[in-house]
Amino acid sequence: MANFKENSSTLPIKANDNQLRNHFLYKILNPESICIFGANNDLLSTMGSMQMRNIKTGFKGKIYPIHLKLEEVQGYKAYKSVLDLPGIPDLAFIILPPHIVPQILEECGRKGIKRAIITSGGFRESRHSDGNTLSEKIDEIAKRYNIRFIGPNCLGVYNGWYGSDTNEHYLMTFWPYFVPDLGKISIISQSGTIAAQTFWQAKNLGVKIGKSISIGNERNIDIVDILEFCKNDPQTDVIGLYIEEIKRGKEFIRLAREITSIKPIVGIYAGGTEAATRSIMSHTGAIAGDSKIYEGVFKETGIISTNSVIDFLYYLRTFSYAQSYNLFPKGKRVGIITSSGGSATLMTKTCDLYGLEVPEFSKELQKELSNYIPHTASGSNPIDITFFENFYEFFVTIPKLIMNSGEVDCILFDGVWDFGEVINMIEKSGSPVDEKIKDFPKIFYPGFLKPIIRFMRKKFIPMFFCGPQLYSYPLYKEFLNRDIPIFELWDEAPKCMSMLVNYSEYRTKFS
């Protein structure tokens, strides 16, 4: 199992990394103590209680619930007021009705608290006229006490890198009880849904997320602030953005340009149409702009753009993998290996549609390949081997030949990977099952996958795997656990490869 924390020499953040430690976001992501306003003991009927339950789960610092009536909240001693606390917490987490928030923030200020997350909604996005007044009040209080805060109208933060070098500890203020596998993807989102609810799919697809920040109305800390932090953060390799508006346009463009030259950014801009603008207005209160302007900004700054959440997750995974192993294709020539003609044709067409080339192999290479593929099969690219008995030749020898040829920059490899069903079916039917086949899941990685992956990383020729089965299949998990990109079906692999090829080309301008 690939464990970023163990493998990485940059982590945990070194004590002398003062630039990061002194950034005002650092204590929001890595607080040693939190006081929580708006949680009680009923874990289902209030969001604050669910959020406190989640904070408890991964956090190893001190937790101080503040509650007017309760003596104890979720096993922690409760205090009537923040002013009663024995020490000054690093972070205040506030989820209370909006009209109480100014008073609470004022008390936090008096106590000396310098960082806050305000989850409460009902500010400028509200249908009610006092939303803006309330916003101005909290601005003023924060300014007076020098408080930096995330929100309001947000879910807060997930920091998988919090506190230790295992997944055991993390900081999560979201409400769904689900944590993705740890990696160096950081998500910055003007939607709590995109920040938090993508975790289920992320876990399923092997999208390894280290940080996810729901920034809400950005009243104090905005997207530019967080980008600044991520730029220098050694635990951020790739950034995912969900944007409904950009407030500091110039700063955003300057910073995004700097970042994309070293760390890829994938962005969703959700506005740009009349109905979407209405939806955004009632969501974060932002006034969304023409999508052409945002498309222009994305293009100018090298941000990879999509409107689809599944593509967003796949692109993040793609870039995270490329960053981890420094695997960026040097051109757009794709080799396709498969045992099925239809998937070969579909992948070829998708490559074409996304600007990749699937060049016909040279006569020399085709001749070499013909030693390993059946008489009736095709070796011209795509290579459709139709049926194979020799696993080593299919999985290792053929891709090696192609990588050595210098005729492609990357490879798409399609197959039916998991034989569990075949084996079960045969056993059920009473026929004997070859021990070698029974052991296939065990020998698959050391015998086939490992040698070709090692070779690929040596040659710097990225190879993506795909097939018709599901991520829930044991052999698919083998790929994902070992941090090797595999895809369900044949649509996403060529698309992701195309994004990688384009970004690789873009980045060479800066090297």
Residue 2 tokens, joined: 């690939």
Nearer to its own copies, 226 or 453 (CB): 226
CB of 303 to its own copies, least distance (A): 17
Quote the DSSP letter at residue 84.
G
Nearer to its own copies, 27 or 211 (CB): 211
Nearer to its own copies, 210 or 415 (CB): 415
Q: H helices then E strands: how many in the chain?
A: 23, 19
Nearer to its own copies, 83 or 287 (CB): 287
Nearer to its own copies, 243 or 452 (CB): 243
Other CB atoms closer than 10 Å to residue 249's CB: what's the count?
Answer: 13
CA atoms 113, 83, 55, 176: torsion sign? negative
Rounded Cα–Cα distance for residues 277 and 282 (Å): 9
Rounded Cα–Cα distance for residues 5 and 95 (Å): 32
CB of 11 to its own copies, least distance (A): 28
Residue 371 tokens, joined: 């030693």
Rounded Cα–Cα distance for residues 168 and 173 (Å): 16
Nearer to its own copies, 234 or 289 (CB): 289
Nearer to its own copies, 262 or 425 (CB): 425
CB of 21 to its own copies, least distance (A): 31
CB of 443 to its own copies, least distance (A): 15
Provide the CA 293 distance to its chain's centre, in angstroms: 25
269 sits in which H/E element = strand 265-269
Nearer to its own copies, 154 or 484 (CB): 154
Classify residue 150 as left (phi > 0), alpha (psi -120 to 50) or beta: beta
Nearer to its own copies, 262 or 443 (CB): 443
Nearer to its own copies, 19 or 307 (CB): 307
Phi and psi at 335, nearest 5°, equal -100, 135
CB of 325 to its own copies, least distance (A): 27
Q: Which residues pair with 242 in a beta bridge?
A: 189, 268
Q: Which residues pair with 189 in a beta bridge?
A: 214, 242
**197 close to 242: Cβ distance less than 8 angstroms:** no
Render the burial of 392-420: b for 16+ CB within 10 Å, e for the rest: ebbbbbbbbbbbeeebbbbbbbbbebbbe
CB of 70 to its own copies, least distance (A): 14
CB of 245 to its own copies, least distance (A): 11
Residue 317 tokens, joined: 């995974």
Rounded Cα–Cα distance for residues 161 and 180 (Å): 12
User: Which residues fall within 8 angstroms of residue 19, CB to CB, at 6 or more apart?
Assistant: 232
CB of 329 to its own copies, least distance (A): 17
CB of 309 to its own copies, least distance (A): 5
CB of 301 to its own copies, least distance (A): 21
Nearer to its own copies, 9 or 376 (CB): 376
Rounded Cα–Cα distance for residues 94 and 152 (Å): 9
CB of 204 to its own copies, least distance (A): 6
Nearer to its own copies, 57 or 166 (CB): 57
CB of 66 to its own copies, least distance (A): 20
Nearer to its own copies, 205 or 453 (CB): 205
CB of 434 to its own copies, least distance (A): 7
User: Which residues fall within 8 angstroms of residue 202, CB to CB, at 6 or more apart?
Assistant: 180, 181, 208, 209, 313
Q: Comparing C-alpha atoms, which of 406, 386, 414, 419 is closest to residue 492?
A: 414
SS3 at position 367: helix
335 sits in which H/E element = strand 334-338
User: Which residues fall within 8 angstroms of residue 85, CB to CB, at 6 or more apart?
Assistant: 35, 64, 79, 111
Quickly list H helices, 248-396. Answer: 249-260, 274-283, 291-301, 309-325, 341-353, 363-370, 391-392
